Chain A
Amino acid sequence: MDTAVLRERFPALRNSRGIYFDNAATSLVPDDVLGEVARYSREFSVNAGRGAYSLATKLTVEIDEARERIADFIGVEPCEIVFTANTTDAINKLALSLKYKPRKSIAVTHLEHHSNLLPWRLVSERNDIPLQLIRYTPQGIIDVNHAEKTLRRNCQLIAFTAASNVLGTVQPVKELTNLAHEKGVLVVVDAAQWAGHFAMNLKDWDCDFCAFSAHKMCGPTGTGILYVRKEVQKQLSPIFLGGGTVGDVTDEVMKLKDFPYCFEPGTLNIEGIFGFAAAVKFLSEVGMDDIEKRVSGLHRHLLGGLSEIEGVITYTPKDVDNAGITSFCIKGLTPHRTASIFDRKGKLMLRSGYHCAVPLVKSLGNGKGTVRASLAFYNTAEEVERFLEITDEIVKEL
């Protein structure tokens, strides 16, 4: 699809409010998704399930179809995905729902976003389970040798990111999953920065659990997915119950519904789910291979150009597969100051600070955080050029 035609489908790009390079935080939303979100209110505005009127029944079917579409997009069965509010919500629900073996450790990596670090730390503290930290290499990749050693040490679960939210580096998911499964260790993948940039086939990854958000893949905010492989669903016990999660309830007994419904208490974010399914359809239309190629090309252009500007420190390693994220600093400027100058000079939207990954950013040897430029498939080479021009201007003015 031609980029100009593609960009016409995004209201935020049609209105030309500036250059948006904060896609790792939230991606832009196309008309198709906005239309579906509005369609719920326009055509339904009722609740799903347990209503013996046709509109409620029709809505139930539409939610099932949305679940099927999203499941198909990631190569799993509909009964394996739980609707959540976002990735953070999904990982927390998972961490608090799992039945743990006493004294067997949990492993996470130094590359994690707080959302895939703190829930495990909480579990570790509450259950007196050791938490092990796996190093990353200078290339921003999880150190597989160190992971191997860590998994050998009486480990029960490993949680890691598929792509770093600070460096953008793509991780060896399948290799780590195989390694873990050889040792009988459960695998949790945080795919927040992967989804929307690369094709997803969770059966190919063979992970046990995976979490991601709609709002980083052209969907609306407030909706996410927790994938739980069918074979391990019995290892979870829901922590939130109520409407929709149970079958029979007596004074003595409650009979939980099957997965995933027992993990979806109360009314779901139905308009969000409509939008999520539309986002998946939209991405499929554009084509995930095409999306990957576009982002990869733009990323190389941006990182290559930035690396050539004297006075810029880049933290994102070159020549490593990347989800379109570049972390950098301009010598002599603090990160937030830098981002505010980009905003004023070119209406260029960048994120700055620690990116909810304080241990990782500190390990980069930077005491004040970084500036992060994150790309999406609807960005253009002209925007990258403008970004590089402004960077050059800022450096020269120092």
Chain B
Amino acid sequence: MKRLLVTGGKEVHFYSVNLCNYEDKGDYELFPTEELSLDIFAIGERLMTNGNGRISGEAAEFNLEGVDITVYKEGRLILEGVIPDTHEKAFELLERIIESG
């Protein structure tokens, strides 16, 4: 599934791929059609609560609303445990993470 989002002042298409489904949860991979350069430190600072997560050179890993999130700086994301198990919810989380709009 494809969605047009705005990040860093420009429009970018993101694809969402469903990786797995179990119970009422789903795992998703989201990636842009062009390579981005996300500020993963800023994303981590904004969304990590109580030191919940870690940031390495190329990825931020944290938990948001019970979803395990991995954000790579080029814009690839892995969301594990998305509820409800829909692409819509995955995109909603993506928008929050990259502050689309």
Q: How large is the interface on B (under 10, 10 to 19, 20 to 34, 35 or more residues)?
A: 10 to 19
Since A336-B27, A336-B80, A368-B80 are in contact, a sample of 7 more A-B pairs with Cβ atoms closer than 8 Å, ordered by chain A residue number, is: A336-B19, A337-B68, A352-B19, A352-B20, A353-B19, A354-B20, A368-B81
Q: Does A369 sit at the interface, judged by CB under 8 A?
A: yes
Residues on B with C-beta less than 8 A from A361 are 22
Q: Does B92 sit at the interface, judged by CB under 8 A?
A: no
Q: Bound complex: CA of A353 vs CA of B78, how far in Å?
A: 12
How far is the CB of B53 from the nearest CB of chain A, in Å?
A: 11
Are B22 and A369 interface neighbours, CB within 8 A? yes
Name the residue in B27, B29, B76 with the highest tally of chain A Cβ atoms < 10 Å from its Cβ.
B27
B68: which of A334, A353, A358 is its contact (CB, 8 Å)?
Answer: A334
Q: Bound complex: CA of A368 vs CA of B22, how far in Å?
A: 9
B78: which of A337, A369, A397 is its contact (CB, 8 Å)?
Answer: A337
Are A337 and B70 interface neighbours, CB within 8 A? yes
Are A397 and B56 interface neighbours, CB within 8 A? yes
Residues on B with C-beta less than 8 A from A397 are 56
Q: Bound complex: CA of A354 vs CA of B19, how far in Å?
A: 9
Residues on B with C-beta less than 8 A from A340 are 70, 72, 76, 78
Are A336 and B22 interface neighbours, CB within 8 A? no
Given contacts A334-B80, A336-B78, A340-B78, contact A353 B61 (CB under 8 A): no
How far is the CB of A229 from the nearest CB of chain B, in Å?
A: 35
Residues on B with C-beta less than 8 A from A334 are 68, 70, 78, 80
B29: which of A335, A336, A362 is its contact (CB, 8 Å)?
Answer: A336
How far is the CB of B65 from the nearest CB of chain A, in Å?
A: 15
Q: Mark B1-25, 1 if CB is under 8 A from A, else 0.
A: 0000000000000000001111000
Q: Mark A283-307, 1 if CB is under 8 A from B, else 0.
A: 0000000000000000000000000
In the A-B complex, the 9 residue pairs with the closest CB atoms: A353-B20, A337-B70, A334-B68, A334-B80, A336-B78, A358-B22, A354-B22, A354-B20, A336-B80
A315-374 residues at the B interface, CB under 8 angstroms: 334-337, 340, 344, 352-354, 358, 361-362, 368-369
Q: Bound complex: CA of A116 vs CA of B88, how far in Å?
A: 31
Residues on B with C-beta less than 8 A from A337 are 61, 68, 70, 78, 80
Please give me the residue from chain A that is nearest to B28 by CB atom: A336
Given contacts A344-B58, A353-B27, A397-B56, contact A362 B22 (CB under 8 A): yes
Q: Mark B21-56, 1 if CB is under 8 A from A, else 0.
A: 110000101000000000000000000000000001
Residues on A with C-beta less than 8 A from B20 are 336, 352-354, 369
Residues on A with C-beta less than 8 A from B56 are 397
A103-121 residues at the B interface, CB under 8 angstroms: none
Q: Bound complex: CA of A344 vs CA of B58, how far in Å?
A: 10
Please give me the residue from chain A that is nearest to B76 by CB atom: A340
Please give me the residue from chain A that is nearest to B56 by CB atom: A397
Q: 29 A-B pairs, CB-CB below 8 angstroms?
A: A334-B68, A334-B70, A334-B78, A334-B80, A335-B80, A336-B27, A336-B29, A336-B78, A337-B61, A337-B68, A337-B80, A340-B72, A340-B76, A340-B78, A344-B58, A352-B19, A352-B20, A353-B20, A353-B27, A354-B20, A354-B21, A354-B22, A361-B22, A362-B22, A368-B68, A368-B80, A368-B81, A369-B20, A397-B56
